[in-house]
Structure 1
Amino acid sequence: MIIRSAEFTISAVRLEQCPANGEPEIAFVGRSNVGKSSLLNKLLNRRNLARISGQPGKTQTLNFYHINNTFYLVDLPGYGYARVSKELRAKWGPMVEEYLMRRNSLIQVVQLIDVRHPPTRDDQQMFEWLHYHGRTPLVVATKADKIARGMYAKHTQQIRVNLGMQSSQLPVILTSADTGYGIQEVWDTLARKLKEYPGYSESSL
């Protein structure tokens, strides 16, 4: 994927505030400290497009990034951070749920898992919820540079077992926002999904 342009478009809290041009969208979900913003910046080859915060749980809206003027990457609020108030989490829940369930232009959900640790119960619940609603996620493991390469297979298998991934055809892609490991594989997978979207121009890939 050649990134010709990438720009922040809008922060939305309701579906009617989301872009209305019908272009395909790829949403990123994960725990608040999983490294979502760092991975987005690496995917887009930008240093600070997605804001990286030392305070997990800061993303409170659906943040849309317009890529090559043809599709969107969408940064969703992180889940599972204890210091975020119950009231705030209660506001996030319906917003994220409505988007994931009702957004017709959403073609892929990317679920991020910290490769250093077994998936949490929150990770498991999100994976199960997405499957139940027909949104089979692409599982991407972050922070691969934090473990030895000889441990990649073991940690990947641990993710598969803990999430209950039944099909061996569902990939788990290991990535590092620091080294760029796995970034091309993520883009190759997403590009295949984009090509399936009606009216999408392959010339932008």
Structure 2
Amino acid sequence: MSKLWQARFFTTVNHLRDLPRTTVPEIAFAGRSNAGKSTAINILCNQKGLAFASKTPGRTQHINFFSIGGAHVAMHRHDPINMDELRCLVADLPGYGYAEVSGNAKLHWQRLLGDYVQQREQLAALVLMMDARRPFTDLDIQMLEWFAPTGKPIHCILTKSDKLTRNEAVNVLRQTQAKLDSYVDEDGEGFPFTVQLFSALKRVGIEEATAKIEELVGLNDEPDNAADDAAAQEQDAGDKTGDGAPADTDPPSST
């Protein structure tokens, strides 16, 4: 079972000052408002209503966080999350690209997105969702160029690939990777950018996306176990003093 299936709502924020005060890695999902981002998150997390789109696309201006680990599977449960067992956070960024949003709201929205992806230390990677028929709109490129200087990984998911013929899908995959490869650092080294095809309707690319996301946030690594570590340290201390005998016993007196 995918560890992403443990996802449940954690918090929502509208200002950087309200971001979670956690230290676990985060992975953010970004994309145009009609790129199928919410649908993809729900499929990857095996939950119908975890992420949801506004009835008016482009109006949601908050970052929604979902937790992985530290709680029972099922988004409805209200039992507290055990923060010691929290593994990572999934950040659902506001969709972008609809002109209906007012100028002030759009400015706030862009500032929130830009500052989060550029400044958030806990952000380990970005998942950029693009419609396979229309990749790399101006706003997609803006998101890429906000995030690229961090040197962190980007995984591009080309949604709605079922709308393409086989040849079209092969071509768009190759062209997208070529575009990503064109981004290099100041030393001419390429960034860790990858791409895949995805279709919610045909359930294409789910396993590939799941494996990549789990890799990017370290969900396949064994979690630290504080209790086991403490027990091991106690045993080590006991070994050094002779089968656990107290180390501070007084020496025998001479008479």
In the superposition, the TM-score normalised over structure 2's length comes to 0.71
Residue among 95, 107, 119 paired with 2:136: 119
**Secondary structure of residue in 1 paired with 2:29:** strand
Q: Show the counterpart of 2:181.
A: 165
- State the identity %: 33
CA contact (8 A) 2:135 2:158 kept: no
Mapping for residues 34-183 of structure 1, pairs under 5 Å:
34-69=35-70, 70-161=87-178, 163-166=179-182, 170-183=193-206
Give the aligned residue type for 1:25: E
Give the aligned residue type for 1:77: P
In the superposition, the TM-score normalised over structure 1's length comes to 0.86
Q: Show the counterpart of 2:19.
A: 18
**Secondary structure of residue in 2 paired with 1:46:** coil
Q: Aligned-pair distance for 1:52?
A: 2.8
**Bigger relative contact order, structure 1 or 2, given CA contacts below 8 A and separation 6+?**
1
Q: Show the counterpart of 1:195.
A: 218
C-alpha spacing 1:118/1:195, structure 2 compared with 1 (3 Å): closer
C-alpha spacing 1:80/1:187, structure 2 compared with 1 (3 Å): same
C-alpha spacing 1:169/1:75, structure 2 compared with 1 (3 Å): closer
Aligned residues: 201
In structure 1, stretches of 5+ residues that fail to align are none
**Secondary structure of residue in 2 paired with 1:93:** helix
CA contact (8 A) 2:28 2:90 kept: yes
Give the Cα separation in 2 of the matches to 1:74 and 1:41.
Answer: 13
C-alpha spacing 1:103/1:168, structure 2 compared with 1 (3 Å): closer
Q: Aligned-pair distance for 1:68?
A: 2.6
Q: Aligned-pair distance for 1:127?
A: 1.3
Q: Show the counterpart of 1:184.
A: 207
1:14-72 residue CA offsets vs partner (Å, 9 max, x unmatched): 23322223121100111111111011001101111111334210221110011233211
**Secondary structure of residue in 2 paired with 1:57:** coil
Q: Aligned-pair distance for 1:173?
A: 1.0
Q: Show the counterpart of 2:32.
A: 31
Give the Cα separation in 1 of the matches to 2:198 and 2:69.
Answer: 23
Give the Cα separation in 2 of the matches to 1:194 and 1:62.
Answer: 18
CA contact (8 A) 2:181 2:193 kept: yes
CA contact (8 A) 1:140 1:175 kept: yes
Give the Cα separation in 2 of the matches to 1:168 and 1:150.
Answer: 27
**Structure 1 runs of 4+ with >6 Å offset:** none
CA contact (8 A) 1:113 1:140 kept: yes
**Secondary structure of residue in 1 paired with 2:64:** strand
CA contact (8 A) 2:10 2:67 kept: yes
1:183-205 residue CA offsets vs partner (Å, 9 max, x unmatched): 111121122222299x97289xx
Give the Cα separation in 2 of the matches to 1:178 and 1:109.
Answer: 23
